[in-house]
Amino acid sequence: MTTELQAARRTSRTARMERTTSESSVFVEINLDGTGRSEISSSVPFYDHMLTALSKHSLIDLTVRATGDTHIDVHHTVEDIAITFGEVLKEALGSKAGIRRFGEATIPLDEALANAVVDVSGRPYLVHSGEPAGQEYHLIGGHFTGSLTRHVFEAITLHAGICLHMTVLAGRDPHHIVEAQFKAFARALRAAVELDPRIGEAIPSTKGAL
């Protein structure tokens, strides 16, 4: 693959979207070939922390600006950001020509350990397991309920058209358990969307399409 072709492909793997409903107003922009630069303002502080980690460890440049009816619950805003992120991820991937397609990462955060396996398959599927009993009820940072973690990954996989197996292997602290998952997802996604110079413009599928 020529340097010029590589450069052209890098500049084209970007997408942005605005999504407005009666519950939230969301803007998301990504660059798959970035350096992990982020500008995050989700109106949910702990979610800002997770999205910043997602950007940093995936090397995906990410801008998120969102407001919503967080006086009722942060659920709507968190979900709508995940939906929009999934949509722009799908758009930025385009035909998926030349990507590695698969990615896997096992990431520790002190006592917590999470494993993520990603397949940019075009088929949305989530397997999420291993969180300790009661994790879904923890309120983290005063706003983010533990149950939202799975919900975020559900929305991303559905709207991006990817398969994700997320397994929590260990953990005690609710914050660490969530953060390990976001970082594992980031690293697995980084590997999966990376361009593979060995295959050039080929689609990494025996079907010829993803």
| pLDDT single digits (tens) 106-143 | 999 999 999 999 999 999 999 999 999 999 999 999 99
| Calpha distance 21→154 (Å, rounded) | 20
CA dist 159 and 10 (Å) reads 22
52-67: average pLDDT: 98
Residue 10: pLDDT over 90: no
Write the pLDDT tens digit of every residue in 149-202: 999 999 999 999 999 999 999 999 999 999 999 999 999 999 999 999 999 999
- Is pLDDT at 5 greater than 50 in this prediction? no
CA distance 28 to 55: 12
Q: How far apart are the first and last CA of the chain?
A: 21
Tokens coding 92: 């930025």
63 three-class SS: strand
Pairing mode, strands 112-119 and 102-109: antiparallel
- The pLDDT assigned to 117 comes to 99
Q: Which residue has the tokens 């109106």?
A: 43
pLDDT band, residue 12 (cuts 50/70/90): confident
State yes or no: pLDDT of 2 exceeds 80. Answer: no
DSSP tally for the chain: helices H, then strands E:
5, 10
Enumerate domains of the chain plus CATH numbers: 3-193 (3.30.230.40)
pLDDT of residue 9 exceeding 60, the answer is no
Q: Mean pLDDT, to the nearest integer, of 61-81?
A: 97
Please give the single-letter amino acid code of residue 14.
T
DSSP H or E stretch at residue 185: helix 174-193
Contact criterion met (CB below 8 Å) for 133 and 77 = no
pTM of the model: 0.94
Supply the pLDDT for residue 11: 55
Q: pLDDT tens across 94-107, in order?
A: 999 999 999 999 99
